[in-house]
Chain A
Amino acid sequence: MFDVDFLVDRVFPQLNAGLWMSVKLIVPSAVFGLLFGVIIGIVRVFGKPWMQRVANAYTALFRGVPLLVQLFILYFGLPNIGIYLEPYAASVLGFILCSAAYNSEYVRGALLSIRQGQLSAAQALGFSTMQTLVSIVVPQAVRRALPGCGNEVVYLIKYSSLAYVITCIELTGEAKVLASRTFRFTEVFLVVGAYYLFLVTVASWLLHKVEERFHIPGFGRPRQ
């Protein structure tokens, strides 16, 4: 069934281009999704009441609406109010907003797990609320949230495939085009599956390295 010439001449070159686009979608989405997720998570736990309400509403909205619908709104809906986004920009924006909503939930859980006593100790030493957050709470919460946020990165790698629906042709998009032209769906999509598996493996390995790098005794052991 496998035709080596077809793979080497057609599948790999076209899919590699798609892979590169996927990476360009995933990396900024993961980085900013995590960053905003941390900020939103902090606001949801320590913000003023009105800020908490806004952040909670944000999370409810972006977790509650299917990502594909969000992408459609960003790409096809926003032009109605005069905002035109390139397919790439709309995809990255959609991924960041969605990823941040999920990450904020992991961060919120981690923040709530920090013992109240440490906050009292910091206050007793003269820390301001902001200093307590930055120096005591966040460094611990991020460590506790890492496994969950890593999970979110793995999801992101896979839901990045939705970008092709709004014409940002990445890995899955290229595969769809190639398969439609050649009718060799089996080969093409098996290779695509392997590509995604490869991306997830690399991401898992990197996340493991990060967990190891920031490991502190008493914060659980990273996988051996």
Chain B
Amino acid sequence: MATPESVITSGTPILRLENIGKTLGGKRILSDISMDVDKGELKVLIGPSGAGKSTLLQCINYLIPPDEGHIRLEGRVVDAARKSDLYAFRQQVGMIFQDFNLFDHLDALNNVSIALRKVRGMSRKAAAERAMAELERVGLANRATLYPAQLSGGQKQRVAIARALAMDPKVMLLDEPTSALDPELVGEVLAVIRDLARGGMTMVMASHQMDFTRALAHEILFMERGSIIERGSPAELLAPGSGTRTADFCSRLTDLCEECS
């Protein structure tokens, strides 16, 4: 398993956020967020509801354009004002949403292949082959002809992951990918994400799955009121008696889970 030390941090980070800020409706949502994400790294955003995790992830691929700061992919600043630049950038940054957002009118195979055909301009046949390979990778080859309405939540999220992977993204952004799932379906999705992490996929993920984070995250970023207030490896931040906000938050999260079960 990869540990923080094993990541090569030399050279340019694959994704760099420089002083990202965002104000929505007069309210400061994000202020002065900076981070470097190196190749193969998994960064996990943690924090209370409303901390700005989701907004930050959507700022990274300009679904919500940031008001301040720059985003660099492999050293190049993204010029979001130029449509062609923006579309090309988004193709390289995969995004997984909390509520899946599959295309309701397409079966699983076409959910994965449509961007290959329409955005990448691949032939129908080549796109279908690639889509099938991605569905196999997430264990859903036998569900290729089913529509979103016929899939379970966990299956939908795995199709969504296959859809993002088919574009060969350099970075994946995951916005609480298991939060909308029934507890018994969380495992199958986390297993897919774990395989990605082990395969060296670069990821930024908002998550409250602490066991998963502890095992796989290279760095935890604790957000509150639009700022990153703590950052460090799971070992540093979650050590018993470390007295960090992160450890405090996570222990309360764990208590809550125990009460529920």
Residues of A within 8 A of B (CB): 115, 117-118, 120-128, 131, 135-136, 139-140, 143, 216-219
Contacts and interface: CB of A to CB of B under 8 A. Distances in A.
B101 interface: yes
Interface stretch (B10-18, B82-90, B187-195, B224-232): B82-90
A42 B101 CA distance: 21
A122 B160 CA distance: 11
A143 B104 CA distance: 11
B: contact size bracket: 20 to 34
| Main secondary structure on A side of the interface with B | helix
Contacts of B119: 125-127, 131
A35 B101 CA distance: 28
Interface in B57-97: 58, 61, 63, 83, 87-88, 90-91, 93-95, 97
B35 to A, nearest CB: 20
Contacts of B114: 135-136
Interface of B: 58, 61, 63, 83, 87-88, 90-91, 93-95, 97, 99-105, 114-115, 118-119, 146-150, 160, 163-164, 167
B87 A128 contact: yes
The 8 tightest CB contacts between A and B, nearest first, are A218-B149, A126-B91, A121-B101, A117-B101, A124-B95, A125-B115, A217-B147, A126-B90
B104 A218 contact: yes
B105 A120 contact: no
A140 B104 contact: yes
Contacts of A126: 87-88, 90-91, 115, 119, 167
